[in-house]
């Protein structure tokens, strides 16, 4: 889930919004402004209902952000790299570049999310009770009460033992500790997730057909998302199992073609694709051969045509500190999450300070295809 609008960093974690957040803001505001608020406290203006509905929707997003931020902070404390957090239509996603090394760390990372949501629910409940004692407007009390209820519901829902929910992570940690097999544990959590997803889809559709209420469509949509995400997690678990003993040197392209940082964009294009530069992604080196970055065809295309003859590649490349790197003896499953989180889907491979190769997701996919074919009876 790629962010559309970056919001900066909170507690050292990059936070962004996906465009679909607008959908959840509008849906929540619509539900509250045209349904719950007028029904509970009639007589107010439409502007009042809509204004409070939008504020309540934004407060819900802040609650979701706190939930995901808790995952990210605890993950970092347990040695798991965090790429960032993206809020989107169905909640939030904390993008982890690596995985927990032991069941206990997996458990701690998973359990903190529902705990934060439950605490937020109790906090909102306390604020609602306090506002009522102070004699605040009933509409304000209603909004805060709704936030309390929805956060507690989210905490309970997320605790269900099914991937990709936090409860699925807890189930995975439990099975991992009990069996000692992380892949088997992940497959068990994924199976539970698909079962939960189909239950939600079937009950949601049945609710629409039997009662005529469209609210069941939301449950069906969430269920479909759970099925898709759980299936992806099961597929990834099988993939990691296939790649368990594979090292980066076995899948990388050794001695990759490079371009110097002083080469102009026009010179680079003149040498491609039928002469020196036949790839869409190239490592960039300085005059002494030291790797300094990575340049992609997309970055080159963003360079204005008139400026290409005077713009060196070093100005348009992605610098080395922003590029995924690896070592030849690193296990491919350890590299894979970092590759998936990167924009270029490439990693430069170093032996000491010397560039020895480049590896792409397509290289890993090709290796998986061969290994799967070899293992098939």
238 found inside a domain: no
% of the chain surpassing 70 pLDDT: 96
Residue-level pLDDT at 253: 93
Least confident of 83-97, 104-118, 336-350: 83-97
β-pairing, 281-285 with 259-260? parallel
CA–CA separation, 64 and 91 (whole Å): 6
In the structure, what pLDDT confidence band is assigned to residue 93 with cuts at 50, 70 and 90?
Answer: confident
Residue of higher predicted confidence among 243 and 39: 39
Kindly give, in sequence order, each residue whose CB lies less than 8 Å from that of residue 18, ignoring residues fewer than 6 positions away.
1, 2, 3, 4, 86, 87, 88, 89
272 found inside a domain: yes
- pLDDT value at 212 more than 90: no
- pLDDT value at 263 more than 90: yes
CA–CA separation, 292 and 300 (whole Å): 17
Residue of higher predicted confidence among 27 and 55: 55
Residue-level pLDDT at 3: 59
Query: What is residue 358's three-state secondary structure?
Result: strand
In the structure, what pLDDT confidence band is assigned to residue 2 with cuts at 50, 70 and 90?
Answer: low
% of the chain surpassing 90 pLDDT: 55
| Catalytic member of 3, 68, 99, 344 | 68
Q: What is the mean pLDDT of the chain?
A: 88
19 found inside a domain: yes
Task: Single out the residue in 124, 159, 194 at which a domain terminates.
Answer: 159
- pLDDT value at 1 more than 60: no
Question: Torsions phi, psi of 108, nearest 5?
Answer: -65, -40
- pLDDT value at 6 more than 80: no
Task: Single out the residue in 141, 159, 177 at which a domain terminates.
Answer: 159
In the structure, what pLDDT confidence band is assigned to residue 109 with cuts at 50, 70 and 90?
Answer: very high
61 found inside a domain: yes
366 with 266, same domain: the answer is yes
In the structure, what pLDDT confidence band is assigned to residue 374 with cuts at 50, 70 and 90?
Answer: confident
Number of domains in the chain: 2
CB 227 within 8 A of CB 193: yes
14 with 123, same domain: the answer is yes
255 with 132, same domain: the answer is no
Residue of higher predicted confidence among 275 and 29: 29
Residue-level pLDDT at 323: 93
Residue-level pLDDT at 83: 76
CA–CA separation, 120 and 179 (whole Å): 34
The CATH number that applies at residue 291 is: 3.10.580.10
149 with 18, same domain: the answer is yes
- pLDDT value at 377 more than 60: no
In the structure, what pLDDT confidence band is assigned to residue 4 with cuts at 50, 70 and 90?
Answer: low
Residue-level pLDDT at 376: 61
β-pairing, 82-88 with 13-17? parallel
Residue-level pLDDT at 340: 80
Residues 120-144 have a mean pLDDT of 94
Judge whether 68 counts as a catalytic residue.
yes
Task: Single out the residue in 97, 132, 159 at which a domain terminates.
Answer: 159
256 with 152, same domain: the answer is no
- Which residues form the domain of 115? 5-159
Residues 193-206 have a mean pLDDT of 93
Residue-level pLDDT at 318: 94
């Amino acid at each position: 889930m790629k962010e559309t609008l970056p919001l900066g960093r909170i507690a050292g974690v990059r936070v962004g919004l996906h465009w679909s957040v607008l959908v959840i803001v509008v849906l929540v505001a619509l539900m509250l402004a045209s349904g719950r608020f007028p029904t509970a406290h009639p007589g107010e203006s439409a502007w009042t209902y809509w204004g409070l509905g939008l504020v309540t929707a934004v407060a819900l997003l802040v609650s979701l952000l706190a939930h995901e931020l808790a995952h990210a902070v605890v993950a970092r404390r347990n040695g798991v790299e965090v790429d960032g957090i993206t809020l989107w239509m169905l909640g939030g996603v904390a993008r982890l570049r690596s995985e927990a090394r032991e069941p206990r760390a997996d458990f701690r990372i998973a359990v903190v999310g529902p705990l934060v949501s439950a605490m937020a629910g109790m906090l909102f409940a306390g604020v609602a009770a306090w506002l009522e004692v102070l004699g605040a407007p009933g509409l304000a009390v209603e909004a805060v009460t709704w936030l309390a209820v929805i956060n507690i519901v989210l905490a309970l829902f997320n605790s269900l033992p099914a991937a990709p929910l936090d409860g699925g992570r807890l189930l995975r940690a439990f099975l991992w500790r009990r069996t000692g097999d992380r892949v088997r544990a992940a497959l068990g959590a994924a199976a539970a997730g698909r079962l939960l997803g189909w239950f939600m889809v079937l009950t949601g559709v049945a609710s629409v057909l039997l009662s005529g209420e469209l609210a069941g469509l939301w449950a069906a949509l969430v269920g479909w998302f759970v099925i898709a995400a759980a299936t992806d997690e099961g597929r990834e678990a099988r993939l990691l199992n296939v790649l368990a003993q594979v090292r980066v040197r076995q899948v990388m392209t050794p001695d990759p073609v490079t371009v110097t940082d002083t080469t102009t964009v026009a010179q680079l294009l003149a040498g491609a694709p039928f002469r020196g530069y036949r790839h869409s992604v190239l490592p960039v080196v300085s005059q002494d051969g030291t790797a300094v970055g990575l340049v992609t065809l997309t970055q080159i295309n963003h360079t204005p045509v008139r400026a290409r003859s005077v713009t060196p590649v070093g100005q348009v490349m992605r610098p080395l500190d922003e590029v995924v790197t690896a070592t030849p003896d690193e296990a491919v499953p350890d590299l894979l999450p970092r590759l998936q989180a990167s924009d270029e889907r490439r990693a430069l491979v170093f032996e000491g300070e010397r560039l020895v190769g480049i590896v792409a997701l397509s290289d890993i996919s090709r290796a998986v295809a061969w290994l799967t074919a070899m293992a098939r009876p």
